[in-house]
Amino acid sequence: MKRYSPTEVWALGKTVITAHSGCEETAPNSIEHINAAIASGAEIIEVDVRDVDGVLRLSHDVPEAPESCVTLRECFALVAPAENLHMNIDVKTEGLLEPVMALAKEFDLCQRIIFTGACNEDRALAISLGGDMWRSMWPGQEIADGIAANKKDGNPFLNVAYCMITEENNKALCEAGYGFSAWTVDKEYFLRLFLKMGVSNITTRRPVLAMKLRKEIQGF
């Protein structure tokens, strides 16, 4: 199965699919998750990264047993051979961009890294290191504020909780030259809705279903 890069998918006017940590009923941030995401055909795989005692590890929260967590090095080793597969590195603490990209450079992955999370003011740094960053927003924050911030730093996307997206503000965002990245979209109703709306990226724990529905709805 040929995997297109996110840029190629967007150039066709289609929605990119990101396999969220724990996709296809695997344990979050596990080797099984990484393999399931690769097998799903999704264009991006999402993992949570934090520094644990000087080691970059995959974990959403501070781990009780760090040695049980997959290292980012192990993750990169699996992702690197998967042609065109990009990574959404959701950083859980500040100051991780440089060490993450130093490791990514060893695997020739820098141009396939997209940061989200605790890095909203670091897009210039992400780009200087060869990657990119999408501005993250949470319920209660105003989309208009996100658009204003994106105008300042040239960020093309707003990475938001799916409940924040409406047809009206998706249209407004597109007209402003930006796009939504929706997380975490697991219900078929919302997968169908956002695919019909043409949302730029859908992050989901059900990438296999999302890819099937994209073929049905968007013909790709």
Mean pLDDT of the chain: 97
Q: Are 179 and 157 in contact (CB under 8 A)?
A: yes
For the purposes of burial, counting CB atoms within 10 Å of the CB of 142, is it exposed (0-12), middle (13-18) or buried (19 or more)? exposed
pLDDT band per the 50, 70, 90 thresholds, residue 1 = confident
Please tell me whether the overall predicted TM-score, pTM, comes out greater than 0.85 for this model.
Answer: yes
The H or E element spanning position 55 is strand 55-58
> Which residues lie across from 161 on neighbouring strands?
183
Report how far apart, in Å, the C-alpha atoms of 58 and of each of 67, 123, 169, 201 are: 11, 22, 33, 22
Q: How confident is the model over 149-206, as pLDDT tens digits?
A: 999 999 999 999 999 999 999 999 999 999 999 999 999 999 999 999 999 999 999 9
Q: Which domains are seen in the chain, by residue range?
A: 6-218 (3.20.20.190)
Q: How confident is the model over 53-99, as pLDDT tens digits?
A: 999 999 999 999 999 999 999 999 999 999 999 999 999 999 999 99
Query: Maximum Cα–Cα distance for the chain, whole Å?
Result: 47
In the numeric block, the tokens 């090095």 are attached to 73
Task: Write down the pLDDT at residue 4.
Answer: 98
Non-local (6+) Cβ contacts of 104 within 8 A are 76, 110, 112, 113, 130, 131
Could you give the CA distance from residue 220 to residue 218 in angstroms, rounded to a whole number?
A: 6
